[in-house]
Structure 1
């Protein structure tokens, strides 16, 4: 039971960092499918007790992580320094390891060599890749919502923006390779969301939390049906999304303008390899 809380802590930390996907980390931890099916069962009121315990412990971990780490990340890590570079390199290593795992899963599951189906799968891979790439373009050209227009934090418009951000972020955070925080950064509400969480503003936090749950719930039901009927295609789409997320993290590093010293290069390389190695260790513990 406690291990699910710890996994929630890890997923929550991933959801705070722009470019890092909580869904990808759930895949790495081996609980992605359980999250999808348990959430879908709970929505349909099936196996309520068993799934409620699992999701409650996981959610408490995520909530604890987001609440505590939002302040730490805001003031100490996500400050354009070498610390942010190191953190991104570690997650790039972790994410790269996931791609190898998914490719292996495709090989073991894909027994049909029909060319038309292969074309469909590669097409889905490209859709996934260019979806995350489009977020990168939005970030590059600073195309985002100007949240400063909604300075009155008691206005209906402000709360609608927060609710919309929650729904969009919730839809994104369960998809492998899609970073909910990067989505919020792209639409211009990331800093505001981090502020209301770190300051524990009750009303905006509640609105954001409920809308995030709604967005996540809708996406989970769609993913569940997709996995049941088109699992191999879902894997190809996921690989495209995850590969695109690696480019996003690399882009984040280049934008930090940190001096590329020898120490930075060696440390980054070590953290990248460490990320891949951690992934392999976690994978071996599931066998």
Structure 2
């Protein structure tokens, strides 16, 4: 695997991992933006089925042939660098970014709102063709669901028992699968955001181990369902994702107190400039991605691109 490609995928994972600690911002959204979403979802499905086959077939004495087939289908050349980037970014961002977000909540939410607004073009474009009334209706329902999710009252932090940690992680990890849903906000809504962030900063291995186990179980259960939906109901699913992203913008309204929406303050103009900056950043990323894809397509037409290097 080319070293430059490995660095690029590690950087993509770092971006996904960084936003995963920000309530209201979806790691799945960033995965869409940086172009690794479908690769990660497909590989996660093969990985989950491979692990399940290893356990089931191993216990029954059927050998590991089925597990090896599933595991060999995982795009390890992408998954490993992305995973490493995510882990490193979560560790660094938890210690550095979280205090900054707490100190400048209005500015950070305004910037993130701009990121999400501009990234709406990604699932809209992925739907392909002209939207039909059904897609508009599904997107509206998705927006209502996203708005309802981000309107949940925030509860006080608590010290959850480990089984509850695993259960919450199983649901929160769906944020990596469904753009528009923030895993950190799910944790915040159930009072587990602060304990989880503290566990990362304190290197609480017992807590983190249970959290990762719960996340793996949740991902394994959910990813296969999403894969089927993307294969058989692609337009509807992407329309729903668009709606979820729109609804999630409620959590990123810059002026709020304890989750309650407030009127714009005297810092309206700087906030609007930060929204524009966030949108410009995503626009630049999408433009760069478009240029790269066009060049890759030309190389493909010329017969100079190996299929394994595409995506």
Q: What does residue 23 of structure 2 align with?
A: 18
- Greater Cα radius of gyration, structure 1 or 2: 2
Q: In the aligned structure 1, how far is the partner of 2:122 from the partner of 2:175?
A: 22
Q: How does 1:189-268 map to 2 (within 5 A)?
A: 189-250=192-253, 253-255=254-256, 260-261=266-267, 264-265=270-271, 267-268=273-274
Q: In the aligned structure 2, how far is the partner of 1:266 from the partner of 1:233?
A: 32
Q: What does residue 138 of structure 1 align with?
A: 152
Q: What does residue 139 of structure 2 align with?
A: 125
| Kept in 2: contact 1:8–1:61 (CA 8 A) | yes
| Kept in 2: contact 1:9–1:64 (CA 8 A) | yes
Greater shift, 259-268 or 236-245, is seen at 259-268
Q: Per-residue displacement from partner, 1:182-217 (whole Å, max 9, x unpaired)?
A: 111111111111011111111001111111122122
| Kept in 1: contact 2:151–2:251 (CA 8 A) | no
Q: What does residue 88 of structure 1 align with?
A: 109
How far off is 1:131 after superposition?
A: 1.7
Greater relative contact order: 1 or 2 (C-alpha under 8 angstroms, separation 6 or more)?
1
Q: What does residue 293 of structure 2 align with?
A: 286
Q: Per-residue displacement from partner, 1:220-278 (whole Å, max 9, x unpaired)?
A: 1111000000000011100110101122211xx21268953376246424423423423
Note the aligned Cα RMSD (angstroms).
Answer: 2.4
Equivalent residue for 2:97, pick from 73, 80, 104 = 73
Q: 1:239 to 1:126 in 2, by over 3 A?
A: same
> Secondary structure at 2:235's aligned position in 1?
helix
Q: 1:276 to 1:43 in 2, by over 3 A?
A: closer
Q: What does residue 153 of structure 1 align with?
A: none
Q: In the aligned structure 2, how far is the partner of 1:167 from the partner of 1:103?
A: 28
> Is 2:183 aligned against 1:180?
yes
Q: What does residue 162 of structure 1 align with?
A: 165
Q: 1:147 to 1:158 in 2, by over 3 A?
A: farther
TM-score, length of structure 1 as denominator length: 0.83
Q: In the aligned structure 1, how far is the partner of 2:73 from the partner of 2:218?
A: 23
Q: Which runs of 5+ in 1 are unaligned?
A: 151-156
Q: What does residue 55 of structure 2 align with?
A: none
Q: 1:127 to 1:270 in 2, by over 3 A?
A: closer
> Secondary structure at 2:255's aligned position in 1?
helix
> Could you list the runs of 4 or more consecutive aligned residues of structure 1 that deviate by over 4 angstroms after TM superposition?
256-259
Aligned residues between the structures? 264
> Is 2:280 aligned against 1:274?
yes
Q: 1:109 to 1:32 in 2, by over 3 A?
A: farther
Q: How does 1:148-159 map to 2 (within 5 A)?
A: 148=158, 150=159, 158-159=161-162
Q: Which runs of 5+ in 2 are unaligned?
A: 1-5, 51-69, 295-311
Q: In the aligned structure 1, how far is the partner of 2:251 from the partner of 2:7?
A: 32
Q: In the aligned structure 1, how far is the partner of 2:90 from the partner of 2:150?
A: 24
